[in-house]
Amino acid sequence: MGSNTVLVEREDGVATIVLNRPDRMNTMNQELISALPERLREVAFDPEVRCVVLTGAGERAFSAGGDIGDMQESGPIAAARKGADGLPLLEDTIDHLRRGQEASLLLHEMTKPTLAVVNGACAGAALSLALACDLRIAADHAVFTTAFAAIGFSGDYGGSYFMTKVVGTAKARELYLLPDRIDAAEALRIGLVNRVVARDRIRAESMAMAKRLAAGPPLAHRYMKRNLNLAARGVDPRTALDLEAEAMMRTGRSEGFRSGALAFLGKRKPEFKGR
């Protein structure tokens, strides 16, 4: 039986992954950390899913990050084998954390668009997960903080990488080294989120965006994500042009392109049903 700390809801090609610990501000305990990559793999390879949404249960929080109390009881250090000196084996703690961090790679690398719906507080590893998504939409009451420096951690779940790519190196360093809280308006101003909507409209607005993404051309989205991800990693211009040319010709031979072109010429809305 699957964990109820991570729920999956499906509607019209959209799979919504819900971090479901509302009584604890959706903090990430070990059960949730283990379940999240599994749920993400399921939807990543489900051909009926064409957009993936990540959000938190309730209205208080997307997620306040790692559950510090749970870390002491069942986190990487607690789960590690002990060495001859009685201390946890460093290799075990790293491997344990790395397995959970696969969630960030899945959100970033899956071939379908991913959307973080930030419906409240978003901190620490949860902010890293939101940054790993392609797009972020926030409610106007949402607040953000990296949080790591406040408790003596350096950061995980790819946050330092994704934050740098999203807001630039100078702002990323400020947000990591000085972990102040910023509100939704500031997050929008610095490019941390793509849109901010009223608290009572966040579900409707985010689902409308997700359904629009799900209605788009799957093969084109696949190659767009590949090209944009490679550009963010600093691929050289010649390689970028080669990859764009290849992708354009592949998509130009697809059912999606034929459908889209006919719809454009006929001045009607396209229906992208296949690849």
Q: How large is the average pLDDT for residues 266-274?
A: 70
pLDDT at 274: 60
Asked whether residue 58 falls in the same domain as residue 155, the answer is yes
pLDDT band at residue 265, thresholds of 50, 70 and 90?
Answer: low
The C-alpha atoms of residue 181 and residue 268 are separated, in whole angstroms, by 46
The C-alpha atoms of residue 110 and residue 215 are separated, in whole angstroms, by 17
- The reply to whether 48 falls in a domain is yes
How many structural domains compose the chain?
Answer: 2
Residue-wise DSSP of 125-192: HHHHHHHHSSEEEEETT-EEE--HHHHT----TTHHHHHHHHH-HHHHHHHHHS---EEHHHHHHTTS
State the number of CA atoms in the 13 A half-sphere of 95 facing the CB: 8
User: When comparing pLDDT for 226 and 263, which is higher?
Assistant: 226
Q: Which residues contact 42 (CB under 8 A, 6 or more apart)?
A: 8
Asked whether residue 143 falls in the same domain as residue 243, the answer is no
- The reply to whether 156 falls in a domain is yes
Question: How big is the chain, counted in residues?
Answer: 275
Asked whether residue 103 falls in the same domain as residue 169, the answer is yes
In this predicted model, what pLDDT tens digit does every residue of 116-146 receive, in sequence order?
A: 999 999 999 999 999 999 999 999 999 999 9
According to the per-residue pLDDT averaged within each range, which of 1-15, 208-222, 261-275 is highest?
208-222
- The reply to whether 272 falls in a domain is no
The Cα-based distances of 119 to 57, 141, 160 in angstroms read 8, 8, 22
Q: And the tokens for 62?
A: 């997307």
Q: And the tokens for 44?
A: 């990543």
The C-alpha atoms of residue 178 and residue 181 are separated, in whole angstroms, by 9
Q: Residue 110: is its pLDDT beyond 60?
A: yes
- The reply to whether 270 falls in a domain is no
In this predicted model, what pLDDT tens digit does every residue of 170-226 receive, in sequence order?
A: 999 999 999 999 999 999 999 999 999 999 999 999 999 999 999 999 999 999 999
Sheet with 6-11, edge to edge strand ranges: 6-11, 14-19, 51-56, 114-118, 135-139, 195-197
Q: And the tokens for 16?
A: 């919504």
The C-alpha atoms of residue 221 and residue 183 are separated, in whole angstroms, by 31
- The reply to whether 237 falls in a domain is yes
The answer to pTM > 0.75 is yes
pLDDT at 271: 72
**Which of 32-41, 71-80, 141-150, 189-198 bottoms out in mean pLDDT, i.e. has the lowest?**
71-80
- CATH code for the domain of 46: 3.90.226.10
Of all residues in the chain, what percent carry a pLDDT higher than 70?
89
Q: Which residues contact 100 (CB under 8 A, 6 or more apart)?
A: 33, 34, 36, 37, 157
Domain hosting residue 34, numbered range:
6-214
Closest CA to 185 of 144, 154, 217, 157: 144
Q: Final residue of a domain: which of 182, 198, 214?
A: 214
